[in-house]
Amino acid sequence: MTLTTEIPPIVARLRAAFASGRTKPIAWRRAQLRALRRLLTEERTTLEQALRTDLGKSPVEAHTTEIGFVVNEIDHTLRHLASWLRPQRVSVPLALAPAKARRVREPLGTVLIVSPWNYPVNLSLAPLVGAIAAGNAALVKPSELAPATSAALAELVPRYLDAEAVAVVEGGVLESTALLEERFDHIFYTGNGAVARIVMAAAVKHLTPVTLELGGKSPVVVEPGVDLATTARRLAWGKFTNAGQTCVAPDYVLAVGGTAEPLQRELAAAITEMFGDDPARSADYGRIVNERHFDRLTALLESGTVVAGGRHDRGELYIAPTVLGGVDPDSAVMSEEIFGPILPIVEIPDLDAAIAFVNEHDKPLALYGFTNSEETKRRLTTETSSGGLAFGLPVAHLAVPELPFGGVGDSGMGAYHSVASVDTFSHTKSVLDKSLFMDTMKVAYAPITDLKEKL
Ligand code: NAD
């Protein structure tokens, strides 16, 4: 745990490093990204163990959703960085010619990254990739609710990266509050909306721009006629990875026109296929982060009829992959983000009602559609608003590097991944360059009435 008295000198060190210019050369950025890649590959086992301790994550899941995910992000960034950073020439209006104009990226300065517990490696280091790629000094504050991963990052990051310009501060509310007292040039926060409001209020003091990567309920619309067995497998995969503790996990299903019952049967079969008869014994199934979330989640089981799963064990922080049928849209499970392995199925008569339902609620981080109809895809695209939209497969839009990842409205503001990260952590400076040779601006100078004489 970092002492709050240590925070101001750490921030001062980072600011001095940025002011010295050391983070700006592309060579420094590349070297740091390669060092971060080495950290992830050489210390893979340490990180996997920490993720197992914090969340019961299997090594395979730890790799695909966290460690390998960030490695891919680094590789993609290293491949494209030079072209992303190249100044872009833009045309100049005739009245200003001859002149040159270009857009030039500059780093923002010293940035703060505050991350949550559910993907503690990914959500701490993927934003860091963007911050470094854009040439910033950066401070990462991992979540205290994933303490083993937080400790591993605090130990490893300074060993591999330039400790003058990149730091990890460990801690919870006290330390975060102390950090938010400091001046940063950007705050990148991932977590819940209540804390996002605290972060944004703190940012006001220094007029610091913020990116807020939040959550909410991500709905799924399932239409009749689709292959329900495949739909169920993909939903089970998206929902029960990390025991449902994924910001873009399918939160609930709007089962259109009689699809609810057959879908529930297919979901039950898919769960058994993936995790066996007793998912508690599956090496691939994770655990709930702590007792508070366990108690919150088990209370939600009252909101419907358990049609699959439902077993839970507080001592093990285990909740089976669960499907709830006959769910009332006004019940508790439908009133807050579930963020756990419970999938409610709500019956809805038609697409119009499904679209109206989505639009009556907060703008989701993701919306998923399972349909054979291009018209339905068009309607979901144009008649609803969400951070991301995916047809036929949940969650995986995050793995498409050139798709910016972020929310809208209650699910957040700003985006990242790939070039969107560089956009987030840079300022695009407008540069106009007009030669002093021959004064073509004479027509603009007062007195304007003498225009003819000037020409
Ligand atoms: P959390 O409790 O770990 O909190 C997130 C961070 O906020 C932590 O680093 C924590 O120390 C800090 N924090 C807590 N209280 C604070 C305070 N008073 N002042 C300043 N900082 C404070 O994680 P969480 O918020 O429970 O995360 C889950 C939420 O995050 C869900 O809503 C989920 O959907 C969302 N989420 C979003 C994304 C995304 O990329 N959009 C990713 C993961 C999670």
Compute φ and ψ for 257, nearest 5 degrees: 45, 60
Q: Give the mean model confidence (pLDDT) for residues 380-387.
A: 98
What are residue 431's DSSP bridge partners?
102
Q: Give the mean model confidence (pLDDT) for residues 267-283.
A: 97
Checking if the pLDDT of 217 tops 90, the result is yes
* CA-based nearest residue to 293, from 271, 316, 310, 317: 317
CA atoms within 13 A on the CB side of 95: 3
Q: Is 290 a pocket residue for ligand 1 (Cβ < 6 Å)?
A: no
Q: Is 18 a pocket residue for ligand 1 (Cβ < 6 Å)?
A: no
Checking if the pLDDT of 254 tops 80, the result is yes
Q: Give the mean model confidence (pLDDT) for residues 162-178.
A: 98
Report pLDDT for 2.
87
Residue whose CA lies nearest to ligand 1 atom number 13:
173
42-58 pLDDT, tens per residue? Answer: 999 999 999 999 999 99
Q: Give the mean model confidence (pLDDT) for residues 224-253.
A: 98
Domain extent listing, the chain:
4-214+411-429, 219-399
100-131 pLDDT, tens per residue? Answer: 999 999 999 999 999 999 999 999 999 999 99
In whole angstroms, what is the distance from residue 111 CA to residue 32 CA?
Answer: 16
Q: Which of 94-98, 365-369, 406-410 has the lowest mean pLDDT?
A: 94-98
The amino acid that residue 92 corresponds to is V
Atom of ligand 1 nearest to the CA of 180: 20
Report pLDDT for 36.
98
Report pLDDT for 100.
97
Is residue 247 annotated as part of the catalytic site, yes or no?
A: yes
Report pLDDT for 447.
86
Q: Is 123 a pocket residue for ligand 1 (Cβ < 6 Å)?
A: yes
Q: Is 218 a pocket residue for ligand 1 (Cβ < 6 Å)?
A: no
Superfamily of domain 219-399: Aldehyde Dehydrogenase; Chain A, domain 2 (3.40.309.10)
Is residue 213 annotated as part of the catalytic site, yes or no?
A: yes
* Percentage of the chain exceeding pLDDT 70: 98
Cis upstream peptide for 329 (omega within 30°):
no
Q: Give the mean model confidence (pLDDT) for residues 267-277.
A: 97
Superfamily of domain 4-214+411-429: Aldehyde Dehydrogenase; Chain A, domain 1 (3.40.605.10)
Q: Is 388 a pocket residue for ligand 1 (Cβ < 6 Å)?
A: no
Checking if the pLDDT of 194 tops 70, the result is yes
* ipTM metric: 0.97
Residue among 48, 73, 175, 213 flagged as catalytic: 213
Q: At 256, which helix (H) or strand (E)?
A: strand 252-256
Checking if the pLDDT of 451 tops 70, the result is no
* CA-based nearest residue to 63, from 77, 44, 49: 44
* CA-based nearest residue to 405, from 432, 423, 391, 382: 423
6-39 pLDDT, tens per residue? Answer: 999 999 999 999 999 999 999 999 999 999 999 9
Interval between CA 251 and ligand 1 midpoint (Å): 18
